[in-house]
Amino acid sequence: MSFVCLVFSLTFWQGYQIRLYESQSSSALYPLVSSDLTSQMNAISSSRVYCFYPGLTAHSKSISGTFPPTEQEIRQLNSRSIEYNDSTAMWARECGQCCPMLWRLTYGLEGVGVYSWGGLEGKKNVTTDRFKEAHLRWRAGDDCLNIHCPYQRRV
């Protein structure tokens, strides 16, 4: 069962797109972790900024998520100096928390970068976090081709 549906897509001159997805559940997390690229798995709320693959984001890298990106999306990444890899095969060291085979959990937000900024006036209540309390499990892929990764399937 899919919890995400495409509501609206608008393509601009030069191929740039805006796509609006709607969650079919009460959680905004489903569309977020179902993104085509790990570099798209970021969110901002009225009091926090979330980065679901901080290890990749910090190094300006992105790998495929649920579906492979379009050629235009890859060009857009390159224009923003983000290195795209369709797999982890060329990585020179183990994947760690960035491994596409590693199941990740929203509960507790372990491995998720969170910055509490308190809202525009810095006075927002940052003690409660609906994302942190949600129970959702996801992973970016079902295979790891990195020979250095302990999570890689051995054939």
Question: Mind listing the pLDDT tens digit for each residue in 13-41?
Answer: 666 667 777 777 777 788 888 888 888 88
The pair phi, psi for residue 97, each rounded to 5°, is -65, -10
- Tell me, what's the pLDDT at 140? 87
Distance CA 140, CA 56 (A): 12
**What stretches in the chain show pLDDT beneath 50?**
1
- Tell me, what's the pLDDT at 135? 85
- Domain range list for the chain: 27-138
- Tell me, what's the pLDDT at 8? 66
Number of H helices, E strands in the chain: 4, 9
The 10 Å CB-count burial string (b at 16+, else e) for 68-86 is: ebeeebbebbeeeebebbe
- Tell me, what's the pLDDT at 154? 61
